[in-house]
Amino acid sequence: MKHKTLIRTRPHQGATEILVLVEHPMETGQRIDPKTKRKIPAHFIQTLTIAVNGRPVAEADLSVAISKDPLLGVLVDGTKAGDTVTVDWHDNKGETGGAKTVVS
């Protein structure tokens, strides 16, 4: 399944705010499918990394406690226009995703 990853950057008080939205179901494994009456299998992002110019600036260990389509944000000092922001993530089913953008 393809999960879209969106990145937005904007200047914020001398730093760069990086916002990441991942379209992902983030299933806990506890909900019941109303049609089948069976539990929906767990499906959640485990790790997400944000890097600037190849250098990790934030790493998050996520779990079933995070809502569907998670939105994460970080403030990063020392960035400038033209820097490359990369996001990579991995979930519990072995799926991966990510995106890349340039700071404007």
Question: Which residues, including other chains, have CB under 8 Å from residue 30's CB and lie 6 or more apart?
Answer: 39, 64
Digit-by-digit pLDDT tens for the chain (104 residues) are 689 999 999 999 999 999 999 999 999 999 999 999 999 999 999 999 999 999 999 999 999 999 999 999 999 999 999 999 999 999 999 999 999 999 98
Look at residue 1 in the predicted model and tell me its pLDDT.
Answer: 65
Say how far apart CA 69 and CA 66 lie, in whole Å.
9
- What local confidence, expressed as pLDDT, does residue 2 receive? 84
CATH numbers and ranges of domains, the chain: 5-102 (2.60.40.10)
